[in-house]
Amino acid sequence: MRPQILTPLFADLKELDGIGPRLQKLLKRLLAPTARQGEAKIVDLLFHFPSSVIDRRARPKIAEAVPGQIATIRVEVAEHNAPPRGQRRIPYRVICSDETGSLELVFFHANAAYLEKQLPVGQTRIVSGRIEDYGGRLQMPHPDHVLEEAELDTLPLIEPIYPLTAGLSGKVARKAATQAVARLADLPEWQDAAWLSKQNWSSFLDAVHAVHAPQSEADLLPTSPARLRLSFDELLANQLALALVRRRLKKIAGRVTNGDGIVRQKILESLPFELTHSQTHVMGEIEADMAEPARMLRLLQGDVGSGKTVVALLAMAIAIEAGSQAALMAPTELLARQHLKTLSEFGEKTGIRVALLTGREKGKQRGEILDALGRGEIDILIGTHALFQEGVEFKDLALAVIDEQHRFGVHQRLALQAKSGAGGTDILVMTATPIPRTLLLTHYGDMEVSKLLEKPAGRKPVATRAMPVERLGDIMDRLDVAIGNGAQAYWVCPLVEESDVLDATAAEERFAALKARFGENVALVHGQMSGGEKDTAMQAFAEGEVSILVATTVIEVGVDVPNATIMVIEHAERFGLAQLHQLRGRVGRGSGQSACILLYKPPLTETARARLNALRETEDGFKIAEEDLRLRGGGEVLGTRQSGMPEFRVAALPRDEELLSAARDDARLILNKDPELSEKRGKALRVLLYLFERDEAIRLLKAG
């Protein structure tokens, strides 16, 4: 149960004064990107920080007021000038004065009765807002504050400005944030006293107050003491939760899976190449893990084309040699079918029985697959996340391989392991997106990590060039020549904001243009097509029936056509660095020379230029990942924004890398000293875990 001291923070937003259904909806939209469980709550306002401040301390006389500045002025209301009836475009003016001059308060689409009540003629008022000069007359359009003199103390002299969403005013956001902060109690201190003193940090409560009531712009900087304290709290919650997950996974009884090597030998004999040194080394790590009684939870990182699929197959062969089963889960149906094609070829040579289960297998066909699976007549079941839905029962699942699921959170990994029943299933997660070290710590701290650092022998670097979109005609001409010589090409169309429909339109338009030039030699794949249509187009390209495949980023992951040697990426400036690298990795998979053309629309932003330059300078995915993190930040790099895997709300990587290392060390020390978090600091740390919504971790503590 969440501690009672936190209950006021986890209430619904509608419990705040002045927040009805409409404002609640707007606040939820504003807070949704960082709300951990998807549903925004009052606690999310605590971590929604001001982005700037307005300084209202300037108190000039009217004659001293400077146009363009914010001023707070004591005035006397002289007269109201309403616009002529029916002329809504003319503003409502209230003429005010002091002993030095006059000031017009200007209101568009005004409510006359409301203004007459707020600014009665002959009365003194305090007005605060931006001063403007209009034809030599001083004006203050729509003052931010109009107060009676007695209310002057309520005017925020340094006013925080919050990021907003369409339809939500700054006033409402401020009022909501103020109420959220007021609900925060003085929580028990979870940080080590000596560490706090060394950093010169205040309590959590004071830090939150300092961020929401800044005294200057400096208080809002990520390097301010209050912000650093809150970033460290969040990173400590993250590292502690991962350490608890890891400990729990190590405690859960696994199984010893040893093979006799016969199936692996058959696979190795059927390969047209030798394993790289990296592949042999990683296989040794996996074999050792599977032979241990504890469960394996290993992340296999390998750049595009480094040979992860072969490693996965050899790992699954160990399970098969031991008389058990393996599962291979792919993120898309397209990729699952490709894995089926690849593994079936090995199956024919080695006697491995392979089957496929996606959302498309229905009725009798599905029933037959499930029956065979339950009887142990399928050695490797390939599929999408449908593999782990109810009703899919393995006879004895020893190893689950998850391909390209850097979008999988910790809970999914736990749920997946639960599928294995009493026997305990080893898990191998593979990604072709090299993950920077800081992100490995924050998102995969519960896993062991293996890396494939070499590419198979005989692969040449892909020649990468950036060209402005005006050179489209030249590219078409070069494509014509290459295709005449038997080459195949991908043509990737741009992402159009976040809309699949718009992406599909862009792809269809390019498809029509290429078809006009190259005839029936062009195929199209995009996210709006049915699975069958995509497969047909991919099949035609893979088998060389068409030479050009126009696609959206559905081909980013895992499509393997060794004969394809040209990759054109249109509007390359719109893609992230890691994504461009992934797309480039679709070519250069055979022994021929390949090319990648990055078509961009000038002028380029600094970031886009840095991205395209980085891609031209290196093919090392690990270097590219670090650069991508530097340019874009953690949530973007891992794709977590699209996946429900939370980005940090306060901390940011790589900026807070030093804090992350300290949090990791602290989490380790804490659990060595107080493994059940039952001592005074341990109990306070439980509050921290609940506050940052790492409830999973507390459940693991209770489960022992």
Digit-coded pLDDT (tens) for 245-270: 878 777 777 789 999 999 999 999 99
Whether 394 shows a pLDDT value over 50: the answer reads yes
Rounded Cα distance between 209 and 180, Å, is 11
Quickly state the pLDDT bin for 14 (edges 50, 70, 90): very high
Give the bridge partners for 125, in sequence order: 75
Digit-coded pLDDT (tens) for 155-192: 989 999 999 998 999 889 999 999 999 999 999 999 99
Q: What's the pLDDT score for residue 445?
A: 67
Q: What's the pLDDT score for residue 680?
A: 96
Whether 542 shows a pLDDT value over 80: the answer reads yes
Rounded Cα distance between 402 and 447, Å, is 13
| Percent of the chain at pLDDT exceeding 70 | 90
CATH number assigned to the domain covering 262-446: 3.40.50.300
Rounded Cα distance between 405 and 336, Å, is 13
Burial 523-550, CB ≥16 within 10 A → b, else e = bbbbeebeeeebbebbeebbeeebbbbb
Rounded Cα distance between 675 and 211, Å, is 33
Q: What's the pLDDT score for residue 638?
A: 45
β-strands 564-569, 595-600 pairing: parallel
- Which residues have CB under 8 Å from 73's CB, separation 6+? 59, 60, 61, 62, 65, 98, 103, 126, 127, 128, 140
Between 418 and 521, name the one with better pLDDT. Answer: 521
How much is the average pLDDT of 283-293?
Answer: 95
**Positive/negative CA dihedral, 540, 545, 546, 549:** positive
Q: What's the pLDDT score for residue 592?
A: 78
Digit-coded pLDDT (tens) for 647-660: 688 998 888 889 99
Best-predicted range by mean pLDDT (319-323, 505-509, 617-621, 699-703)? 319-323
Quick check: 450 and 305 in contact, CB under 8 A? no
- Which architecture does CATH list for 463-618? 3-Layer(aba) Sandwich (3.40)
Q: Read off the pTM.
A: 0.69
Digit-coded pLDDT (tens) for 596-643: 999 999 998 888 888 889 888 888 777 887 787 777 654 444 443 333
Least confident of 152-166, 171-185, 490-504, 510-524: 490-504
Q: Is 551 helix (H, G, I), strand (E, B) or coil?
A: strand
Quick check: 39 and 10 in contact, CB under 8 A? no
Q: What's the pLDDT score for residue 641?
A: 38
Between 523 and 528, name the one with better pLDDT. Answer: 523
Nearest alpha-carbon partner for 346 in 268, 258, 257: 268
Q: What's the pLDDT score for residue 639?
A: 43
How much is the average pLDDT of 372-397?
Answer: 89
The residue extents of the domains of the chain are 4-54+163-221, 57-155, 262-446, 463-618
Please state, in angstroms and as integers, the Cα–Cα distance from residue 98 to each residue in 57, 65, 75, 76, following that order: 18, 12, 5, 6
Q: What's the pLDDT score for residue 581?
A: 87
Please state, in angstroms and as integers, the Cα–Cα distance from residue 283 to each residue in 16, 299, 304, 308, 453, following that order: 56, 13, 18, 10, 13
Instruction: Please state which of the four CATH numbers 2.60.120.260, 2.40.50.140, 1.10.150.130, 3.40.630.30 is assigned to the domain occupying 57-155.
Output: 2.40.50.140
How much is the average pLDDT of 63-89?
Answer: 93
Whether 308 shows a pLDDT value over 70: the answer reads yes
Rounded Cα distance between 613 and 600, Å, is 12
- Give me the phi and psi of 489, to 5 degrees please: -140, 145
Digit-coded pLDDT (tens) for 213-240: 998 889 999 999 999 999 999 999 999 9
Give the bridge partners for 438, in sequence order: none
Same fold, 57-155 and 463-618: no
Mean pLDDT of the chain: 87
Whether 446 shows a pLDDT value over 80: the answer reads no
Q: What's the pLDDT score for residue 414?
A: 56
